[in-house]
Amino acid sequence: MNVLTNKKVIISLLIVLGIVFPFIIPNLYYLHIMTLAFIWTIAVYGLNLLAGYTGYLSLAHGGFFAIGAYVIGILTVKLEMGFWLSFLLAPLVTMFIGLIIGLFALRTKEHFFAIYTLCVGYIIYLVIDKWEGLTGGVRGLIGIPLPEAIGPITFQSPTAQYYLAFFIFLLVVAVIYRIVHSLTGRTFIAIRNSEDLALSLGISTKRNKLLAFVLSTFFAGLAGAMYAGFIRFIGPEIAYTTITFDLLTYMIVGGIGTFAGPIVGTFLIVIISQNLQFLQDYRMLIFGPLLTLLIIFSPRGIVGFIQMQLYQRKRKKQESLAYKNREEETNAGG
């Protein structure tokens, strides 16, 4: 019981599982799915930072994901730049575009922010779809190169690409963990609770909201760049709103505003959808009601639900312990 709830044990086990996965299941298809799941999780972490921790639900996230993918696509295919330099530039360019959009978007709040960013996301899609000269339009961009070898490490095999994605994934999780569990993260959470209160506590909500927004676009852009480098073909459909809503579903199922939520939600849904492939689009008939039930009964997703259970069990234990102590005292007294 204690071993199972010990965070360190769980985390080490998961990392080991991630490392040995290609050996346990030497199936290229599953390896492909897992690699994609790592990439999606990174994008969901970006969304969670903004929507979950800061309380601003952005529906342009798929758009920023696509910007990251297209920046690396355009830089490598059209300008024939090296992979790694483009890979470095992609999230930075996304972040810069995010900064400019954020300056306007953050003048709105709540529903209006969601609607505004939904429009921004759609405009990004339209630009990518229609600007043929730059993005290749509906034909997309083909032939994004493989990452160049770093010393003796090459990235030709799917296993190597799996490990690359896994490595970046771990790095992102660590960075997010530090952001969320620091004064910066506490500042975001304070803004989510009440902007008036945060302001009265001397927090510059404008600056911190913009920071959260820009950070979220950075992770979206990073995930997009990884996606483009992995799939090596990108089309405008990756900017479409369905991507945003997929990411949103992963986040809500896992637990909005929880740290482990993005991993749990993304892997769970990716794995379940793979097993329900035979149902084709009718899968949604299963997902829809499940999602509705989850939102009604556990608004903070699976992780939020587990956290609450663990907390209540701990509290009950403390109470019964206190009760027992009191009883012993009265017995001793009498």
Partner 1 sequence: MLEVKGLTKRFGGNVAVKSVDYSVQQGKINAIIGPNGAGKSTFFNLITGVHEPTEGTIIYKNEEITRQPANVIAKLGVARTFQSTHLFEMSTVKDNVIVGHRLRTKSNLFDSIFRTRRLKEEEQQCIAKAEESLDFVGLSHVSDQLVTNISQEEKKRVAFALALATDPEIVFLDEPTAGVNPDETDEMAKLIQKMADKGLTICLIEHKMPMIMQLAHHIMVLNYGEKIAEGTPAEIQKNEEVIKAYLGGTVSA
Binding footprint of partner 1 on the chain (CB under 8 A) = 175, 178-179, 182-187, 189-190, 192-194, 196-205, 211, 215, 300, 304, 311, 315
Distance CA 87, CA 72 (A): 6
Q: What is the smallest separation between the CB atom of 110 and partner 1, expressed in angstroms? A: 15
Question: What is the residue type of 208?
Answer: N
Written as six digits, the tokens of 191 are 């803004």
Nearer CB in complex with partner 1: 64/188: 188
Sign (positive or negative) of CA dihedral 220, 182, 210, 262: positive
Written as six digits, the tokens of 289 are 């009601």
Nearer CB in complex with partner 1: 229/257: 257
Q: What is the smallest separation between the CB atom of 230 and partner 1, expressed in angstroms? A: 25
Nearer CB in complex with partner 1: 159/307: 307
Q: What is the smallest separation between the CB atom of 257 and partner 1, expressed in angstroms? A: 9
What's the number of CA atoms in the CB half-sphere (13 Å) around residue 137? 4
Distance CA 206, CA 198 (A): 11
Phi and psi, residue 234, nearest 5°: -130, 140
Question: What is the residue type of 65?
Answer: F
Q: What is the smallest separation between the CB atom of 316 and partner 1, expressed in angstroms? A: 12
Nearer CB in complex with partner 1: 196/281: 196
Distance CA 284, CA 291 (A): 10
Nearer CB in complex with partner 1: 274/318: 318
Quote the strand ranges of the chain, DSSP E: 141-142, 233-234
Q: What is the smallest separation between the CB atom of 50 and partner 1, expressed in angstroms? A: 14
Closest CA to 176 of 98, 251, 96: 251
Q: What is the smallest separation between the CB atom of 131 and partner 1, expressed in angstroms? A: 33
Q: What is the smallest separation between the CB atom of 318 and partner 1, expressed in angstroms? A: 10
Nearer CB in complex with partner 1: 130/181: 181
Q: How far is CA 256 from CA 48, 213, 277, in A?
A: 6, 16, 26
**First vs last Cα of the chain: how many Å apart?**
37
Nearer CB in complex with partner 1: 184/249: 184
